[in-house]
Amino acid sequence: MSTGFVDLHTHSTASDGTFAPDAVAVLAKQSGLVGFALTDHDTIDGLEDAERAAHEHRLEFVPGVELSCQFPHPGTLHLLAYCIDPQSSRLRDVLHRLIEARDARNPQMIRRLNELGVAITMKEVEDAAGGEVVGRPHMAAVLLRKGYASSVKDAFNKYLGQGAAAYVEKERLSPREAIEAVLAAGGIPTLAHPVQLRTENDAQLERVVKDLIDLGLQGIEVIHSDHDAADVERCTKLAARFNLLKTGGSDFHGINKKEIQLGLANGRRIPRQFMDDLLARNHEPARTANG
């Protein structure tokens, strides 16, 4: 039995977190963790720096990425991919497409905001983002700074959330495209925060999970900041029933979600065993799909 705690769901400045990738590693060390995964939205740009810093601080590191997939409103389906090969051309193609989808959507949302009388420019949002992943949290930061919203939540309610005044749809991957790309990159596809699927009952949740398993899903996020005790139990049972890896993380975003602390998910810590099981699966031979 291994001891210690980890965090397998974190975001850095490479996407919409506020800590640089190496600063996430430093914070993980300061928080007493033995390892962590960096799982930025739509990009692997932070992985190299995070891994280098992790090793400097004698932390285990798991390279990851989080992909948003098509799913019926009001639910959201996010995949967490672990142990991906950053050189995979298939994965790189998919990530490139996702950045292009952002670049198509962001100016449309800025235009809508301008039409609503909000003085905000694409340049301001890009500056807030810093990296290639530019999105609504960065718009929210600008709205907050300029006094158009009182909080990030307020910015999403008034302007940026699904169905709000300035919202524009973004092209997303189908679950199949996402899972196949992850497998092609030698990665382990897992389901992030199942509670956000907003399924209506256990049977519906089970059906969604089974369909994803048919596509190649290998794990499920059991512990997450949005999960209460019943959610943790529900997901743990699903993992056992379908022989899925269990994962867990805080979904740390730095001060963009200041209520979330690294290594702590709604009061729970994440056992090192979850990380060890992922890494053990990664070393099993003959798992990788073609490509």
The contact set with ligand AMP (CB under 6 A) reads 16, 41, 135-137, 152-153, 156, 161, 170
Closest CB to Zn ion among 16 and 231?
A: 16
CB of 17 to Zn ion, least distance (A): 7
In whole angstroms, give the CA distance from residue 290 to residue 285. Answer: 14
Distance of closest approach, residue 122 Cβ to Zn ion, in angstroms: 20
Report the nearest approach of ligand AMP to the CB of residue 208 (Å). 20
152 binds, among Fe ion, ligand AMP, Zn ion, none (CB under 5 to 8 A by kind): ligand AMP
Q: Residue 255 Cβ, how far from Zn ion at the closest point, in Å?
A: 13
Q: How far is the CB of 179 from ligand AMP (least distance, A)?
A: 19
Q: In the complex with Fe ion, which residue's Cβ is closer, 159 or 252?
A: 252
11 to each of 103, 111, 163, 167, 274, how far by Cα in Å? 20, 28, 25, 23, 19
Residue number of the CB closest to Zn ion reads 16
Of 29, 12, 35, the C-alpha closest to 83 is: 35
What's the closest the beta carbon of residue 115 comes to Zn ion, in angstroms? 26
If the CB atoms of residues 137 and 249 are measured against ligand AMP, the closer one turns out to be 137
Nearer to ligand AMP, 16 or 49 (CB): 16
CB-based burial label for 72 (10 Å; 0-12, 13-18, 19+): exposed
Least distance between Zn ion and beta carbon 22 (Å)? 19
Residue 51 or 251 having the CB closest to Fe ion: 251
78 binds, among Fe ion, Zn ion, ligand AMP, none (CB under 5 to 8 A by kind): Fe ion
Residue 152 vs 212, nearer CB to Zn ion: 152
Binding residues for Fe ion, per CB under 5 A?
66, 78, 192, 251
Q: Which is nearer to ligand AMP, 186 or 249 (CB)?
A: 249
| Alpha-carbon separation of residue 69 from 75, 79, 176 (angstroms) | 11, 7, 9
Using Cβ positions, the residue closest to ligand AMP within the complex turns out to be 135
Find which of Zn ion, ligand AMP, Fe ion, none residue 4 binds, CB within 5 to 8 Å per kind: none
Minimum Å gap between C-beta 233 and ligand AMP is: 25
The 3-state secondary structure of 79-133 reads EEEECCCCCCHHHHHHHHHHHHHHHHHHHHHHHHHHHCCCCCCHHHHHHHHCCCC
- Interface residues toward Zn ion, by CB under 5 A: 11, 16
- For residues 9 and 39, the answer to whether their CB atoms sit within 8 Å is yes
Q: Which is nearer to ligand AMP, 89 or 151 (CB)?
A: 151
What is the full DSSP assignment across 40-60? -BT--TTHHHHHHHHHHTT-E
Q: What is residue 274's three-state secondary structure?
A: helix
143 in Cβ contact with 22 (< 8 Å): no
Q: Which does 170 bind (CB under 5 to 8 A by kind): Fe ion, ligand AMP, Zn ion, none?
A: ligand AMP
Which residue's Cβ lies closest to Fe ion?
78
Question: What's CA 68's distance to the chain center, in Å?
Answer: 8
Handedness of CA 105, 109, 111, 112 (dihedral sign): positive
- Tracing tokens 């994440």 back to the chain, one arrives at 270
Helix (H) / strand (E) containing 281:
helix 272-283
Cβ atoms of residues 197 and 210 within 8 Å: no
